[in-house]
């Protein structure tokens, strides 16, 4: 079924608004913040859930990371961090049809958990900070727990702002909703 000109316009406006929200949130990555308390995980989930074009959904968080890393610096773990955020976009894609509060909360936890598992494995494997043994890996994960809580807290705060703000915008401007969604079907 082909979209009408009006539906294409509404989709374009929705995508532009989502990108604008992502850019605003990305600027917060450059502001002083506690370790791992950044908007990028939430941006990845939000992009996956709200940007209909799959290529753009995966591209937006990469652009955010690249632009901000160009200013604050890249490191040995950057490829793993980027890959982890792409996984979060994939998790967000599962929200695209039902972005309800409990589903967003579950996706936020899952995104933070996979980020913790992947990046701490990278610290153990590539930074020579821990013995290359099972005990060294366990020690690395235990040492990373405070960072996990910061990641989860940051993702939860920013996911609330991104998804909640977008839901508010959809309430104010129903044309922003995906076609066929009425007031009674919105469950944020």
pLDDT in tens, 120-167: 999 999 999 999 999 999 999 999 999 999 999 999 999 999 999 999
- Is residue 188, in this structure, part of any structural domain at all? no
- pLDDT at residue 179 is higher than 90: no
- Is residue 133, in this structure, part of any structural domain at all? yes
- Is residue 187, in this structure, part of any structural domain at all? no
- Is residue 186, in this structure, part of any structural domain at all? no
User: In whole angstroms, how far apart are CA 167 and each of 81, 96, 159, 181?
Assistant: 28, 13, 12, 12
pLDDT in tens, 9-61: 888 888 888 888 888 888 888 889 899 999 999 999 999 999 989 999 999 99
- Is residue 89, in this structure, part of any structural domain at all? yes
- pLDDT at residue 185 is higher than 50: no
Overall number of domains in the chain: 1
Domain span holding position 173: 5-177
Q: Please report, to the nearest 10 degrees, the dihedral formed by the alpha carbons of residues 52, 53, 56, 61 taken in order.
A: 30
- Is residue 185, in this structure, part of any structural domain at all? no
Going by the DSSP 8-state scheme, the letter that residue 58 receives in this structure is H
- pLDDT at residue 177 is higher than 90: no
Q: What is the CATH number of the domain that holds 126?
A: 1.10.1760
pLDDT of residue 187: 42
- Is residue 61, in this structure, part of any structural domain at all? yes
- Is residue 182, in this structure, part of any structural domain at all? no
Average pLDDT of every residue of the chain: 90
Q: With CA atoms as reference, report the closest residue to 84 among 26, 36, 153, 52.
A: 36
pLDDT of residue 180: 59
């Amino acid at each position: 079924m082909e979209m009408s000109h009006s539906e294409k316009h509404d989709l374009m406006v929705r995508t532009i608004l989502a990108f604008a929200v992502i850019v605003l949130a990305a600027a917060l990555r450059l502001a002083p913040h506690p370790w791992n308390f950044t908007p990028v995980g939430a941006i990845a989930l939000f992009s996956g859930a709200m940007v209909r074009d799959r290529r753009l959904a995966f591209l937006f968080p990469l652009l955010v990371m690249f632009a901000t890393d160009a200013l604050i610096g890249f490191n040995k773990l950057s490829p793993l961090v980027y890959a982890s955020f792409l996984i979060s976009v994939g998790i967000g894609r599962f929200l695209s049809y039902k972005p309800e509060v409990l589903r967003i909360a579950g996706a936020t936890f899952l995104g933070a958990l996979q980020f913790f598992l992947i990046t701490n494995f990278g610290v153990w494997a590539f930074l020579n900070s821990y013995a290359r043994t099972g005990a060294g890996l366990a020690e690395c994960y235990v040492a990373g727990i405070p960072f996990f809580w910061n990641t989860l807290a940051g993702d939860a705060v920013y996911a609330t702002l991104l998804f909640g703000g977008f839901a508010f915008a959809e309430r104010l401007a129903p044309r922003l909703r995906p076609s066929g969604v009425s007031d009674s079907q919105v469950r944020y």
